[in-house]
Amino acid sequence: MITRIREVRKAKRMTLDDVARACEPPTTAQTIGRLETGTRTVSVGWLNRIAKALGVDAADLVDHPERDDLEVVAILGASGPTAPKRTVRVLPPRNRPGQIAIMVSASLGDYRSGDEIWCERLAPEDFARALNRDVLVPRPAGRFLFGRLIGREGDKLHLLPPGAGMRQSVVTDPPWLAMAVKLVRDL
| Angle value at C-alpha 81, between 72 and 66, nearest 5 degrees | 5
Amino acid at position 92, single letter: P
pLDDT digits (tens, 9 = 90+) for 97-114: 788 999 999 988 889 999
What's the confidence (pLDDT) of residue 121? Answer: 93
Give ranges for CATH 2.10.109.10 in the chain: 99-184
CB 43 within 8 A of CB 34: no
Mean local confidence (pLDDT), 171-182: 93
Cα–Cα distances in Å, from 148 out to 35, 41, 71, 180, 181?
39, 44, 33, 10, 13
pLDDT score, position 64: 63
Q: What is the pLDDT of residues 145-167, one digit of tens each?
A: 999 999 998 889 999 998 888 88
3-state secondary structure 20-32: HHHCCCCCCHHHH
Top-level class of domain 5-90: mainly alpha
The answer to whether 89 and 71 are in contact (CB under 8 A) is yes
Phi, psi angle pair for 49, to nearest 5°: -60, -45
pTM: 0.61
What separation in angstroms does the CA of 113 have from each of 105, 107, 139, 168? Answer: 5, 5, 23, 23
Architecture of the CATH domain 99-184: Ribbon (2.10)
Interior angle at CA 158, CA 154 and CA 162, nearest 5: 160
Return residue ranges of the chain for CATH 1.10.260.40.
5-90
